[in-house]
């Protein structure tokens, strides 16, 4: 298909244009409808029976009762704060499991959205695994919705900064630009590169870490790992895919 803004050809499943970073029409609406509706328009109307709703409510279980994080087509509303998706520059998440002598006693879950005007954080937890199922479910929904609605916007901004503005962006010690991505040796400052023009493996998430790979000519090997607690680490798989596509189609 083609971007309505710059008329360049982009992948058919794109949620934003990798050339000009313009969101693809109707993608946000489609993604919202694809997420199970768990909230309500008001206290008496259940969203589960309304497949045309333009927002999704995620129940956040806290020690003092349930709270609602509402994801609209254009913004998050939570705990009295509203943040537009287009204002979000980075996002991070984490799951923390604490134990004493191998006995778990506390579990914390956090999603944080950053913009140039402030930070919106959704955090919740439990002790001794009480209600852990509902906490994991809420975290999973937050991850799914964030990946569908927010990460494409953040990636679009990063792609524009690198591809159009020529910037180099540091995410957790890995530097990304329009040529490729690289790390620097702590002692010598020597750069170790992976170029977009070469074969690039899709980064994977493993145990709360985004793992990047580099080919040795025969197979892909571990290149670097970045914790998802680092702002924008979770956008790296989509960012790498977008930049690799650009390099192969320019």
Count: domains in the chain = 2
Identify the residue with better confidence: 19 or 73.
Answer: 73
Nearest residue to 114 via CA among 241, 237, 231, 236: 231
Helix (H) or strand (E) holding 40: strand 40-42
Report the run of H or E that residue 139 belongs to, with start and end: helix 132-145
Handedness of CA 112, 110, 148, 84 (dihedral sign): negative
Q: How many CB atoms lie within 10 A of CB 173?
A: 12
Give the confidence band of 7 by pLDDT, cuts at 50, 70, 90: low
Going by C-alpha positions, the residue among 31, 24, 30 that lies closest to residue 6 is 24
Q: Are residues 188 and 156 in the same domain?
A: no
Q: Both tokens of residue 220?
A: 């892909």
Q: What is the CATH number of the domain that holds 184?
A: 2.30.29
* Residue at which a domain ends, from 140, 163, 186: 163
Instruction: Look at 88-97, 124-133, 141-150 and tell me which has the smallest mean pLDDT.
Output: 124-133
Give residue 64's pLDDT. 84
Q: Is 132 exposed, middle or buried (0-12, 13-18, 19+ CB in 10 A)?
A: middle
Report whether pLDDT(133) > 90.
Answer: yes
| pLDDT tens digits, 156-177 | 999 999 999 999 999 999 999 9
Last residue of one domain, picked from the residues 163, 194, 220: 163
Burial class (CB in 10 A: 0-12, 13-18, 19+), 41: middle
Residues 126 and 33 in one domain: yes
In a domain, 144, yes or no: yes
User: Is 153 a residue whose pLDDT tops 50?
Assistant: yes
Question: What is residue 33's DSSP assignment?
Answer: H
At 104 the pLDDT is 77
Give the rounded distance of the alpha carbon of 212 from its chain centre.
Answer: 16
Q: Specify whether 40 is located in the same domain as 146.
A: yes
Residues 180 and 124 in one domain: no
159: helix, coil or strand?
Answer: helix
The verdict on residue 233 lying in a domain is yes
State whether 142 and 202 are in the same domain.
no
Residue that finishes a domain, picked among 132, 163, 194: 163
pLDDT of residue 112: 98
Q: Cα dihedral angle (32, 37, 41, 43), rounded to 10 degrees?
A: -160
Average pLDDT in the chain = 85
| Same domain, yes or no: 174 and 158 | no
The angle subtended at Cα 220 by Cα 216 and Cα 224, nearest 5°, is 95
pLDDT of amino acid 249: 86
Asked whether residue 192 falls in the same domain as residue 110, the answer is no
Number of helices (H) and strands (E) in the chain: give both, helices first: 4, 16
**Residue 204 counted as domain residue:** yes
Same domain, 100 and 200: no
Give tens-digit pLDDT for 78-101.
Answer: 999 999 999 999 999 999 988 888
Q: Higher pLDDT residue, 4 or 116? A: 116
Sign of CA dihedral 161, 165, 166, 170: negative
Percent of residues, the chain, with pLDDT higher than 90: 67
Q: Is residue 127 part of a domain?
A: yes
Residue 1 falls inside a structural domain? no
**Domain span holding position 189:** 168-249
Same domain, 64 and 174: no
């Amino acid at each position: 298909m083609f971007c309505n803004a710059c008329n360049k050809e982009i992948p058919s499943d794109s949620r934003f244009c990798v050339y000009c970073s313009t969101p693809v029409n109707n993608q946000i609406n489609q993604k919202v409808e694809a997420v199970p509706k768990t909230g309500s328009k008001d206290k008496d109307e259940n969203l589960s029976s309304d497949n045309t709703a333009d927002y999704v409510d995620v129940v956040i279980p806290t020690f003092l009762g349930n709270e609602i994080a509402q994801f609209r087509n254009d913004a998050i509303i939570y705990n009295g704060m509203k943040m537009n998706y287009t204002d979000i520059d980075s996002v991070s998440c984490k799951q923390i499991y604490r134990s004493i002598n191998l006995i778990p006693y506390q579990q914390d879950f956090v999603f944080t959205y950053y913009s140039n005007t402030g930070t919106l954080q959704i955090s919740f937890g439990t002790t001794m695994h009480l209600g852990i199922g509902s906490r994991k479910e809420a975290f999973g929904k937050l991850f799914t919705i964030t990946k569908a609605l927010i990460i494409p916007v953040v990636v679009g901004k990063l792609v524009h900064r690198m591809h159009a503005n020529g910037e180099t962006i540091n995410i957790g010690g890995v530097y990304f630009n329009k040529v490729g991505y690289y790390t620097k040796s702590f002692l010598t400052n020597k750069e170790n590169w992976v170029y977009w023009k070469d074969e690039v493996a899709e980064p994977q998430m493993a145990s709360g870490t985004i793992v990047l790979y580099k080919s040795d000519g025969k197979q892909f090997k571990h290149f670097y790992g970045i914790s998802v607690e680092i702002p924008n680490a979770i956008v790296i798989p989509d960012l790498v895919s977008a930049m690799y596509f650009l390099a192969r189609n320019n």
